[in-house]
Structure 1
Amino acid sequence: MPPSRRRGRFHPIIESKRYWHSQPLRTRLALITTGLLTVGLLATSLVTTQLLQTHLIGQVDNQLKVTSRTIGDRGLEYLQQDGRSSQAPTTYYLEAQYSSGKIGRMVNDKTTAEYGIPSLGTLSLDNGEPFTVPSSLPGHYWRVLPLEIKDQDGDYAGIVAIALPLRNVRDTVEQTRVVVAVTDVVVVLVGAALATYLVHRSFGPLRQIEGVAGRISRGDLSARVPVTEPPMTEVGSLQQALNTMLQQNEHAFSVQVTAQVRMTRFVSDASHELRTPLSAIQGYGELYRMGGVPAERTSEVMGRIESEATRMGRLVEDLLQLARMDEGRKMDTAPVDLTAVCAGALTDMVVLAPERDCALLRLDGGPEAPQPLTVMGDRDRLAQVVTNLLGNVVRHTPAGTPVEIALGPIGGRSAIIEVRDHGPGIAPADASKVFQRFYRADTSRNRETGGSGLGLSIVAAIVQRHHGTIGITPTPGGGATVRIELPLAQPEQAPAPAGDGPRAGRRG
């Protein structure tokens, strides 16, 4: 067969499949439900009518068997005469075929006119069970029961057949089929309408999901699917899963937007901070190249250039450190004794600012020296946190202002570090912003007074990497207190070796 003819043969099937799959799911479900209902009703109708027909024929067979017992030998005497007799039952037909070749019949004339006579042919007993034969009138049938005839000596004499017409059975079955067929059509039509309505109604939550998707496509990321079904159902589970996904997407988009805004601001602030020392270096360089610097001021100009380069180097180093922490680079994690770290930082401050009173205290106010507090973290980074905080105190408080570091456990799970100063303090409006990058309460943007605004942001980033929290509260009596909370190490973890032991008391 040519390929074109083979393709042409299957073309309608392919087209029907395409048409079927192009229909909406709710239409297909309604059609499938209607089809299953139709098939089920047809099968039920066929089985029911068949059982009814079998039952009615069984009743006719029982009637024939009962009648055969009541006829007896007396009834057979009338069959020995060839002809008909009105003494036979009204709807019965009896025919005797003798072994001698004689045939006798008994039937009512009205029965013959209405039902005809059965086409028996030559009778045989076979298994002696009733059987169906056609009638002399087209479309009619008889149910026949053959019986053996015996003579007076008990010998075989022939076969007698007792028959009843099956038209009543046929009419009853046909009427039943019509009624069942009409009922099936009505049930299928009503079922199709109900299936269409219920399927469309069941798809209501999916249309809500479609509407929410349209709102999201128009930029409304806060849109959520109304949860109208129990969570254990398929639709309810889908609604909750979509809401969870939409919430995560909204959060991710919000984080992305925030990061983008933050990056834009970061780049802008970093450019602003770098522009000042670069402009100073460029200006001094051009002045020196043009010969505008007297010989006696050369060392001063070179010192200014070196100072601005150093300032720019510190700024770049701070930016690189923040960038590394944003990338989530792995830290050298080990058990660290916070008490030893704070004691070492205070020792360094005594050297840098000998005019200040420095003390290492217990958080609960006890007179004893603070006990070792072990946390899991990077020792160098934690030391930088304390050093940056102390440097911030030196920069923003008057000379001679005392400073204390209080340590202690809380709740058996966390270690608390409080760096307290007794200077002018921080305004409540600035306390919530000082950990932002490039934020400075000093609006003069002077390096000597306000710094670059990265010191506390580096502190906050390091604390966050150690799964801790940080905040600023007023110091009783005046000043500011930076409070850091870090998770304590597990009891089986030993602290890292410390070069400096705990120190307590007043230093000057």
Structure 2
Amino acid sequence: LIMVIGALITARWIVQPIDRLSRTARALGAGELSARSRLARSDEIGELGYRIDEMADRIERLLVTEKELLANVAHELRTPLTRIGVALDLAGEGDSEAARASLAEIAIDIAELETIVDDILTAMRFEVASSEFPLKRAVLPPAEIADAAASRLRARHPSRPFVTNVARDLPAIHVDRVLFRRVIDNLLENAHKYSPDGRAPLSLEVACDAKRVVFEVRDKGIGILTDDLPKVFTAFFRGDKSRSRETGGVGLGLTLAKRIVEAHGGTIEITSKPGEGTNVRVAVPAVD
């Protein structure tokens, strides 16, 4: 009798959690993404329950991310499409001067949309890459990256005060020219967008620190809230919930910057104070 009772207890101890796992799996399959097994066990069944719950968490996050992406892209498309429609209406009514006047704003909108599309495609390439992301590296002088990024910023925002300070005799860096320059471009563009006072200066400094070359972007803009700092590298995170056109985008810029820098064996760090400005420091290994 004791053996029978022991067998029943053991069977129940095994069957109950398996039944819970089965119900959780069925609920997830039916679209109930909040379903979790929450098994508090330290054996193999508990480990299986933990893995199922972890998978459910990741699926739920992926779906939330997909919805955020669609919402952000829809938001960014609305204004340029409206402007294009207005320009076409004006041209159709014979008001060619007014239509021509809107072309400059449309060109800016299209450039912003191209950046968004590039960000999304680059993010997809990083996600698809199963191991190390394939970089097209070349040995480059840091000044080449800094000068190209500075020229781009000055061309896009000629009235913005901007200072570059590139140290002499810097060691070369082994980087993907397109992707790494994109990181610096993104940081400078962020510094501009989040410095609403057009007289506030921006700066780009490049120096050597031990065996690393450091690119540092500084602004005196609105800064980042302390609670938001740990989240700035999270995909689609935006501290400015108002989503104004001046600070548009889909929230992928810093996420991609971090992935690109880390793919080069480097680091990226942000320090900021609300109302005082932000410093972003990117360090990559120097070529020996």
Distance 1:432 1:301, change over 3 A: same
Q: Does 1:314 align with 2:112?
A: no
Alignment of 1:332-411 (within 5 A): 332-334=135-137, 336=139, 340-341=141-142, 343-351=143-151, 352-353=153-154, 355-360=161-166, 369=168, 371-372=170-171, 374=173, 378-397=176-195, 398-399=198-199, 401-405=201-205, 407-408=207-208
CA–CA separation in structure 2 for the residues paired with 1:225 and 1:430: 33
Structure 1 residue 299 corresponds to structure 2 residue 100: yes
Cα distance in 2 for residues equivalent to 1:464 and 1:213: 41
Please give the TM-score of this superposition, normalised by the length of structure 1. 0.44
Q: What do residues 246-299 of structure 1 show as CA deviations (whole Å, max 9, x unaligned)?
A: 32222222111101110111011111211221122123213322x1x4344342
Alignment-derived partner of residue 242 in structure 2? 443
> Which of the residues 71, 75, 87 maps onto 1:268?
71
- Over 3 Å counting, the alpha-carbon distance change for 1:285 and 1:213 in structure 2 is same
User: Alignment identity in percent?
Assistant: 22
Q: TM-score, normalised by structure 2?
A: 0.72
Residue 12 of structure 2: SS of its match in structure 1?
helix
What residue identity is the alignment partner of 1:221? Answer: R
Correspondences of 1:175-194 after superposition (within 5 Å): 193=1
What residue is the counterpart of 1:482 in the other structure?
280
Query: Could you list the per-position Cα deviations for residues 167-203 of structure 1 after superposition, in whole angstroms to 9, with x for gaps in the alignment?
Result: xxxxxxxxxxxxxxxxxxxxxxxxxx455455x27x6
User: How many equivalent pairs are there?
Assistant: 264
In structure 2, relative to structure 1, the CA distance for the partners of 1:294 and 1:474 (3 Å cut) is closer
> Is 1:224 the equivalent of 2:224?
no
Partner of 1:357, secondary structure, is: strand
- Give, in whole Å, the separation in 2 of the partners of 1:345 and 1:462: 15
SS at the partner of 1:483? strand
2:83 is the alignment partner of 1:280: yes
Deviation, structure 1 residue 395: 3.4
Q: What is the CA distance between 1:474 and its match in structure 2? A: 2.8
2:106 and 2:173 map into 1 onto residues whose CA distance is: 44
Task: Output the CA distance in 2 between the equivalents of 1:385 and 1:257.
Answer: 29
- Contact preservation (8 Å) 1:215, 1:223: no
Secondary structure in structure 2 of the residue aligned to 1:332: coil
Which one scores higher on RCO, CA 8 angstroms, separation ≥ 6?
Answer: 2
Larger Rg computed on CA atoms: 1
Correspondence for 2:12: 207
Taking a change above 3 Å as real, the CA distance of residues 224 and 482 of structure 1, as seen in their structure-2 partners, is same
- Look up the match of 1:248: 51
Indicate conservation of the 8 Å contact 1:370/1:407, yes or no: no
Query: For the structure 1 residues 470 and 304, does the alpha-carbon distance in structure 2 shift closer, same or farther, using more than 3 Å as the test?
Result: closer
How far apart, in 2, do the equivalents of 1:194 and 1:303 lie? 87
C-alpha distance in structure 1 between counterparts of 2:278 and 2:203, whole Å:
10
Asked if the contact 1:358–1:403 (Cα under 8 Å) also holds between the matched residues in 2, the reply is: yes
Distance verdict in 2 for CA 1:246–1:373, change over 3 Å: farther
